[in-house]
Every structure is written in structure tokens, then in C-alpha cells.
Amino acid sequence: MVPPADVQPETSLVGLGAESIDFLDLIFRIEEVVGRKVPVSRWETFINTRLPGADLSRAITLAIVLEFADQERSRT
């Protein structure tokens, strides 16, 4: 468990201890919020487009996940 005070929008999720399975869990949780399936490939495309060439272990933050969730929420 991570203390809530340690979780900031710019905090790296890997830096908080997230592993690859946690990113799949995030997709499942986003699906619950938007009420439909979200292909993992769409997450991968988003990350590759949004963070080209970045060190993903440092670049995927809560803010990035929320941006993706907002994008998915606005899809029709």
C-alpha cells in the first residue's frame, strides 16, 4: 500500500511500485468507469503517441492515466 500523500499527478506509477499487471488492472478499472471494453492496444497507442521515446518507467504518471481515461470517456 502506498500512502495517499505519496500519490501526486506527476508521480511515476512504477516509482510507486506498479508492475505490468497493475497497468492491465488500470485498463479494467477505466472500462468500469466508461462502461465498455477498452482494447489494451488503444492504451499502447496512446502511450506511444503521447510519450514517444520516453522512459515509460518514469513517464507514466497518474496524470497520464487520467488523461487516457478522459479520452476514453469522451469516445462515442
For residue range 51-71, list pLDDT tens digits in order.
Answer: 999 998 889 998 999 999 999
Q: Is residue 39 part of a domain?
A: yes
Q: Is residue 40 part of a domain?
A: yes
Q: Is residue 2 part of a domain?
A: no
Q: Is residue 38 part of a domain?
A: yes
- What pLDDT does 75 receive? 86
- What pLDDT does 34 receive? 87
- What pLDDT does 76 receive? 65
Question: Cβ distance 61 to 48 under 8 Å?
Answer: no
Question: Cβ distance 32 to 72 under 8 Å?
Answer: no
The mean pLDDT values, 10 residues at a time, for the chain of 76 residues are 86 88 88 89 94 91 92 86
Q: Is residue 1 part of a domain?
A: no
Looking at the 3D structure of the chain, how many domains does it have? 1
What are the angstrom distances between the C-alpha of 65 and each of 2, 13, 16, 41?
17, 9, 14, 15
In the numeric block, which cell numbers belong to residue 19?
508492475
> Residue 51's domain spans which residues?
8-74
